[in-house]
Chain A
């Protein structure tokens, strides 16, 4: 495809979902089906756009699109490189799956117009985050999606959801403000700069300024990326939100924080400068702590979605660790893990939603014998759980393989213990669920919701779950195919570590 056509596709991928947000309410007045089909088409086109960008990006093109001049000095500016293209494609595909799933999951629920409008709005802003070409553009989309997520978090309107929402918004706003301060500071030090591999900040700037900027960014984005001890909102927001939204919240929204850290670390500061500053070992240390400690906390959770939320914190710790090690392979592992984790965790949350909706199972302790009633759901769950643990040849193994290589590359073998410990703990918090579902006697049938009988869900919910789960397998065994995460991540890291 020629470059000018691709350049037209990129703004479409960002702004087309806005049209979806506008028509969600009027379409719903016609019928639920009309809305589902209309929004699925829009979401599908967005996903297609994000995938069509990939071939060009693989050829090494960086697409630059200037949208509007916000102040006399600063443009709102999209730029699609391999890093952004990978994240963008992950976002769009996972969103499409979650949207189709919503049609079944949310059916008959209240205020669907609001739900779908904000669901589409957030897709638009998250695509903007993926494709942002400078820090101010990044900030605009980042703040928009962080704040407009709020109605989705509190969608259930229960007191618990409202409390979780308040906690969410306070954490996110404080984080967002720190990022704003950091960006103002960067702008003051360096002026408006496009994010470029190798970074635009340089060692001849005031070292205290650089240090301050770095930590402001890390703490600011760390709130969203759930780096401990800034993770407080994650375990509350996930159980409160509707399951399809939990899937994208965990899969890509938390990852947006890690993605922000990557942008700043590799394209703001640059690897060489950070090596000189000597701050990254601290980040890696905190990340390692997050991996282990969150996983330990996950073991104790009985609520499925809460357990999965802690697992997200732990897995995002891997990503931060991969960034913190400042090695080519480790960064590649981190980048690949964002995508792999998105689909694995997406699957797990979608399955959790099915268990809640169809069988009324909210807690791990209620899941005895679930596989007998919902074999497909539990098969999908098991596959994703095995992937999360890092079983070859599933996708989770690939990212951990590169992380492991990266750890050896930078000669920090102690982190191997963290890597393996996290995987072991993942087994401890995920496999008992699988075990109970398959091998324990189910309780009497009457404990299930009468209307659903505890049987498998209809196809609208089951198919997206199966597809997400199949991605775990596909991204594992086909990982060497061009256009899949590994190739894009390799391209990205090669520019960072030139």
Chain B
């Protein structure tokens, strides 16, 4: 069962074909759409589960699409980093579940267009899954485009003027980054004559010394391209508006998952360049290290001054992506493991936060801290979930956010760069200031709007996912050794050629 090779195809094709079918099956009754999307994601999740069990047993494996063997056919390749699709499936499914009531409530979204919302969502999730398991550079670009284009549309889905502006800004920067990725894929094909990642790695190792310049160019363009997607300082400017304006379930997907595509992309590039050993990556690492540190501090700093709860969460995403990039830049075993695990944990935490914030907005219609004062009394469960998410994202032990901080800080000492460990730990403090304000507003301050005290808890389709995610924030902290041991071989494999 687990060994059946075609799970690999199903995990990509199910959401993509589900996206096409959703508007068709819900022609009669648009209320079918979310449940059809959810069924699609369930199939995908089962396939993902089997794939992850297989990779845990036997390590990375590949699947020739249509039985065309690589390097000529398209290869899907599943390694430990690809296991991030688990969180794509989980958060994606829960976001769809939350959307059931949220989309009905969203005034700006015309009712007949709701099935297209789910179609776009599935397209986005399918694109991400494809991106994470492809073994082919051009394919990487194709999936990147699928998920980006659906992402732009999802930001604009609420139809407000500001949403269109935010989506346009996102589109503009996203298009440039995609162009850079395509450009460098072209260069790599030019110097190696191949697009398959494994093949490219071996061929890059043997290209003549005079081809290093194009290789550097490709590396730079790829890194910048993926940095835009990951919203690292200074190319983060599209993120806060886009993530704050989008409907909350979409924000959870965008902030928890879509930015991680940039990180996975960087990991893939690293695998190629470390593996080929053609370039010394010290300079790039140093740049990533600094940009990561600046992102941490800057994201956290801007978050303090936001009154809009979702805008603040968006800034905190920049800060957290900073952790991960810093982990990559330190390029020690521990820091890469910590960063890779944070890809997973941050998705859980940020989804908790955005969905809980969404539940407040759904019930009250307010979205600033000042307006939401006293909400902790009216919606105690959602507020507790949000508080657990807040404690996790700051990285208080033993929650999910702590392990990454611990590993990356330890990595900073290992790499003999202890100052970055300080930046990491104290950067998180900034953001805690905001969460104190939030806790004060929810629990301890007099409400401004009396009607806030009279709202009920969110409906079960929203509350259930929120509580599940909040529980995972705690569980993944306590059982943190499972993802840490799981990802270790991939991190070691990636960094190995450097040392040996």
Contacts and interface: CB of A to CB of B under 8 A. Distances in A.
A38 interface: no
Interface string A130-153: 000000100110011001001100
Interface string A63-77: 000001111100010
Nearest to A177: B425
A173 B440 contact: no
Nearest to B440: A162
Interface stretch (B151-159, B229-237, B476-484): B476-484
Q: Is the interface of A mostly helix, strand, loop or mixed?
A: helix
B35 interface: no
A180 interface: yes
Contact of B481 (A69, A174, A185): A69
Contact of A143 (B396, B421, B433): B396
A71 B421 CA distance: 19
Given A154-B444, A185-B418, A71 B481 contact: yes
B489 interface: no
A140 B397 contact: yes
B410 A188 contact: yes
B406 interface: yes
A114 B380 CA distance: 11
Nearest to A139: B397
B413 A185 contact: yes
A201 interface: no
Interface of B: 391, 396-398, 403, 405-407, 409-410, 413-414, 418, 421-422, 425-426, 428-429, 432-433, 436, 439-440, 443-445, 478-481, 484-485, 488
Contact of B421 (A68, A114, A154, A181): A181
Interface of A: 68-72, 76, 114, 136, 139-140, 143-144, 147, 150-151, 154, 157, 162, 165-166, 169-170, 173-174, 177, 180-181, 184-185, 187-188
A169 B436 contact: yes
A165 B478 CA distance: 28
B445 A162 contact: yes
Q: Is the interface of B mostly helix, strand, loop or mixed?
A: helix
A211 to B, nearest CB: 14
Contacts of B444: 154, 157, 162, 165
B414 A188 contact: yes
Given A147-B396, A157-B444, A166-B436, 13 more contacts: A70-B403, A70-B481, A71-B407, A72-B484, A136-B397, A147-B391, A157-B445, A162-B440, A170-B433, A174-B429, A184-B410, A184-B421, A185-B418
Contacts of A114: 443
Given A72-B485, A147-B396, A181 B403 contact: no
B481 A180 contact: no
A184 B413 contact: yes
B496 to A, nearest CB: 18
A151 B436 CA distance: 11
B429 A70 contact: no
A236 B440 CA distance: 17
A69 B418 CA distance: 26
A77 B66 CA distance: 52
Nearest to A169: B436
Contacts of A162: 440, 444-445
Q: What 3 pairs between A and B have smallest CB-CB spacing? A: A188-B413, A140-B397, A184-B409
A171 to B, nearest CB: 11
Nearest to A113: B380
A184 B426 CA distance: 14
Contacts of A185: 413, 418
Nearest to A76: B398
Contacts of B422: 181
Contacts of A177: 425-426, 428-429
Given A151-B443, A181-B425, A173 B432 contact: yes
A132 B226 CA distance: 43
A57 to B, nearest CB: 27
Contacts of A165: 440, 444
A133 to B, nearest CB: 15
A441 B202 CA distance: 95
Contacts of B479: 68
A460 B407 CA distance: 49
Contacts of A70: 398, 403, 478, 480-481
Nearest to A159: B445
17 contacts: A69-B481, A70-B480, A71-B480, A72-B484, A114-B443, A144-B396, A144-B397, A162-B440, A165-B440, A166-B440, A173-B432, A174-B429, A177-B425, A177-B429, A180-B409, A181-B422, A181-B425
Contacts of B406: 71, 184
A180 B425 contact: yes
A140 B478 CA distance: 11
Contacts of A166: 436, 440
Contacts of B478: 68, 70
Interface centre among A69, A71, A157, A185 (most CB of B within 10 A): A71
Contacts of B436: 150, 166, 169
A181 B409 contact: yes
Nearest to B377: A111
Contacts of B409: 180-181, 184
Contacts of A174: 429
B231 to A, nearest CB: 25
Contacts of A181: 409, 421-422, 425
Contacts of A143: 396-397
A101 B210 CA distance: 81
Nearest to B426: A177
Contacts of B407: 71
Given A174-B429, A187-B410, A71 B403 contact: yes
A72 B488 contact: yes
Nearest to A140: B397
A181 B426 CA distance: 9
Nearest to A25: B380
B413 A71 contact: no
B479 to A, nearest CB: 8
Contacts of A144: 396-398
A114 B396 CA distance: 21
Contacts of A150: 436, 439
B400 to A, nearest CB: 12
A180 to B, nearest CB: 6
